Amino acid sequence: MRPISLWIEKYAHLIPKQKPVLDLACGAGRHSLYLLGAGYEVTAVDINTSPIETYQGREGLSIVQADLEKERWPFSDNTFSGIVVVNYLWRPLFADIAAALSPGGILLYDTFAQGNEKYGRPSNPDFLLAPGELAEFFSNSLDVIDFFEGRVDAPNPACRQSIVARKPL
């Protein structure tokens, strides 16, 4: 399993433990397992849950299979103390993500940005954030705590955009 996002590792401690954390587009569950290990209850969602199903039954972990790009958003407003999104971009979900955070909840989003095409995939502009895009959208409903945009070298060279933001109380 790949290492967890350094952005998630740096800021996960800010997530309150009152409600579960949503690991959106969880893949094999590297961030879900990290958050479980840190004492959080986690809801892991992905279109293909077979990679994470080996952890089914683990205390504190709920697994939800959903096609987030074709089906209706499966979560209610104010459901999660934290939402983690890594290496996934589907802009139509931005408003649902913000609404699903409970007051005081933390969004940790870390994905690819324009300029990444020179390092490999993704290179399709539909899946690369425009300059300042995360901060511009989420600052309308959340308080931005930190924002990063630029080149990273680890785990591989890439252009990334990352945000940590809190839903107002």
- Per-residue pLDDT for 109 more than 80? yes
In angstroms, rounded to a whole number, what is the distance separating the alpha carbons of residues 97 and 43?
14
- Strands 21-24, 80-86: pairing is parallel
Does residue 36 contact residue 60 with C-beta atoms inside 8 Å? Answer: yes
Task: Provide the percentage of residues in the chain whose pLDDT is more than 70.
Answer: 99
- Per-residue pLDDT for 160 more than 70? yes
> What one-character-per-residue DSSP string does 90-140 give?
-GGGHHHHHHHEEEEEEEEEEEEBTTGGGTSS---GGGSBPTTHHHHHHTT
- Per-residue pLDDT for 36 more than 90? yes
- pLDDT score of 1: 67
DSSP letter at 61 equals E
**CATH superfamily of the domain spanning 6-12+20-110+126-146:** Vaccinia Virus protein VP39 (3.40.50.150)
Confidence (pTM): 0.95
pLDDT classification of 91: cutoffs 50, 70, 90: very high
pLDDT classification of 156: cutoffs 50, 70, 90: confident
| pLDDT 10s digits, 123-140 | 888 899 999 999 999 999
- pLDDT score of 122: 87
Region 62-84: what's the mean pLDDT?
96
Nearest 5°: phi and psi at 168?
Answer: -60, 150
